[in-house]
Structure 1
């Protein structure tokens, strides 16, 4: 899907462009029921690394103590500054009419949290419904750019595009299937920041497809990075521009692909998150 000059690749919101997935060659189930033989050496290495990471995390947690603990000089304990370290900021407690978190603090962490939550909204299944899509855009886009985004996305979410991802031309889900479109932020990074504006990169993993028996568009996974230019507007961060590029993408593992029923059940039973830095 294209957003004109504001896109850097052919991927759509939440990875709605081309994706790459590995499915078993001999299994008629598009989700696959077979798996390759275990790679003992790589598995062993992953296990060792996992144990080391857990030990380091446990030691770090023990050294930090309680969440509200303070040093003897009265300063609050916080993790050392690092790109991957959480700031300790609490999630926002307010939401817009669309259910999207709002009221982010006017600082770098607030901009990162806003970017992560907005990425989730833009990659959601609700974006395939025009009324819900318009409401989402009204909540997260700066007022002066809402009409522009609505026009661009009305063209992007065309009957042909809906059909390409397995939906009916009007964006509704075919009977007997479960439509999946989810974006999960993996990490965030501020590349530029001032009191009134910020540019945030959000590294994401996305799911897209139709779960159900005989689906010709099974749920697949993609990796992409969303870049958002945010502006402090009306006591909150709002999107001015948005672009997306592929990756970084990890090497696929040898996990068995779930069945159509398993995938549909997972989507129905597992809810999403509000993200805070």
Structure 2
């Protein structure tokens, strides 16, 4: 996989200098018609038509960069994508896919990232979920914490070449385009948000010391606070991680990302920038294991 593959990083992929630009989508403003205007025969107001909001944001950029660079360096193939995403194919999940396994969550840490996952299907899925959280975090935008995250989540054989490529990717210009200062710090009075939240996992393939796990995720990304021009938005995507058992734990050998599955947006009132900033500062992230 190269930076010119179908993940949107080709020369004519539609990517612009704006880190929040769209690929195959446009930003739209939702307008609700007054009651009684365009309603149906039961007097219910018609829900306005919605065009797809772009789902390619910084969270997507982070994982896509990792996938593209790792594949380019190692010659890996593309991920399996979103199998069964349409709901019309594939087998239905059984109760064990969401039930507790009885295995205690890991207690070890590799830096700030959980470690010591079991050498089985449950351990691989837990590892993949935790890795998705770490790689979609705001720590990836800081040079020192990015190194720690990559070292803790990836096969040591690919770490240095991946870090070198990521240093170029997270250039001062890129950081500025997503609303950060050129050194990766957040402008005064604002809160930078970049979080990935796993919704579910699926074991695609497992054989001995290798496993391929798909993690269905939602993500939050943007800049919260008064005066922000990059509001926090939600995204949906699926990460495919090829894992290898290295040094007594699961590590990422390569990864890729696809868009969706994406549910229909609800009619929740959008919170203010200050409310979002307060929530991000007041609610910590999760460690995933089951």
Q: TM-score, normalised by structure 1?
A: 0.73
Matched, 1:8 2:7: yes
Whole-angstrom CA distance in 1 between matches of 2:177 and 2:138: 15
Whole-angstrom CA distance in 2 between matches of 1:179 and 1:21: 20
Q: TM-score, normalised by structure 2?
A: 0.70
Which residue of structure 2 lines up, in the alignment, with residue 211 of structure 1? Answer: 224
1:9/1:246 contact within 8 Å kept? no
Matched, 1:272 2:288: no
Matched, 1:91 2:105: yes
Which residue of structure 1 lines up, in the alignment, with residue 49 of structure 2? Answer: none
Whole-angstrom CA distance in 1 between matches of 2:2 and 2:165: 6
1:91 Cα deviation (Å)?
1.4
Whole-angstrom CA distance in 2 between matches of 1:36 and 1:222: 28
Deviation track 1:222-260 (CA, whole Å, cap 9, x = no partner) reads: 111111110000110001001111111111111111101
1:205/1:223 contact within 8 Å kept? yes
Greater shift after overlay, 195-204 or 86-95?
A: 86-95
Q: 1:236 aligns with which of 237, 244, 249?
A: 249
Whole-angstrom CA distance in 2 between matches of 1:93 and 1:35: 52
Which residue of structure 2 lines up, in the alignment, with residue 143 of structure 1? Answer: 156
Q: How many residues align?
A: 226
Which residue of structure 1 lines up, in the alignment, with residue 182 of structure 2? Answer: 169
1:3/1:153 contact within 8 Å kept? no
Which residue of structure 1 lines up, in the alignment, with residue 237 of structure 2? Answer: 224
Deviation track 1:122-142 (CA, whole Å, cap 9, x = no partner) reads: 000010001110011111111
Instruction: Flag structure 2 segments of 5+ consecutive residues without an equivalent.
Output: 14-18, 45-93
Instruction: Flag structure 1 segments of 5+ consecutive residues without an equivalent.
Output: 26-33, 42-79
- 1:254-269 map, 5 Å: 254-269=267-282
Greater shift after overlay, 246-255 or 85-94?
A: 85-94
Deviation track 1:34-81 (CA, whole Å, cap 9, x = no partner) reads: 9997x998xxxxxxxxxxxxxxxxxxxxxxxxxxxxxxxxxxxxxx65
